[in-house]
Amino acid sequence: MKPTHLRIEEVPWDDPDARALRDRQRAEIAARYGTPDSEPGTAPSAADIAVFVVAREDDGTTGGTPVGCAGLRDLGDRTGEVKRMYVTPDHRGTGAAPRLLRALEEWAADRGWQRLRLETGLAQPDAVRFYTRSGYRPIPNFGIYEGLATSLCFERALDAPRT
């Protein structure tokens, strides 16, 4: 698909477009894993998400069409966790995902965070390819993901070059 003109904006967790995108992400994950609740531990919420962003396509509609989202959970020790990264299927391959991830990385670096971590799963090879291309490297499962055979964890030092 051809790249689109995107605007990335910080929004509150309960923003209606953010909520709708997260609902779509959870539905897709449920379909891939065959269960509505495949996430271990506490789901992200307004109480523990440091920042949440929405990608909007500047398409002439009021405010733009929401096409993706992502957030960061503060893990402490200048480390964040990428949560609820999602781009609608019709906007995959347009550059939305890299722009969302870059916005999170810049936000984190501006606050002195040193690394970002994330968890994805075996049923998401597309996510694994994306994060690997974005400079994230496999790490041992951390926190609530320790010992989960279906979880794959990655990390990127924010001062490391992209590959």
Are 89 and 67 in contact by the 8 Å Cβ rule? The answer is: no
Which fold does the domain 6-157 belong to in CATH? Aminopeptidase (3.40.630)
Cβ(157)–Cβ(134) below 8 Å: no
Radius of gyration of the chain (CA): 15
Domain boundaries along the sequence of the chain: 6-157
Q: For residue 60, what pLDDT is reported?
A: 73
pLDDT of residue 3: 52
Give the mean model confidence (pLDDT) for residues 121-133. 96
pLDDT tens-digit series, residues 25-40? 999 999 999 988 878 8
Kindly state the DSSP code that residue 160 receives in the 8-state scheme: S
**DSSP helix/strand/coil, 50:** strand
CB neighbour burial string for 60-73, b if at least 16 within 10 angstroms, e if fewer: eeeebbbbbbbbbb
CB atoms within 10 A of CB 142: 16
Let me know: does 23 contact 115? Beta carbons within 8 Å: no
Count how many Cα atoms sit within 13 Å of the Cα of residue 1 in the half-sphere of its side chain.
12
pLDDT in tens, 46-93: 999 999 999 999 887 778 999 999 999 999 999 999 999 999 999 999
CA dist 141 → 3, 5, 28, 145, 146 (Å): 34, 36, 23, 5, 5
pLDDT score of 119 more than 60: yes
Q: Which residues contact 103 (CB under 8 A, 6 or more apart)?
A: 8, 53, 70
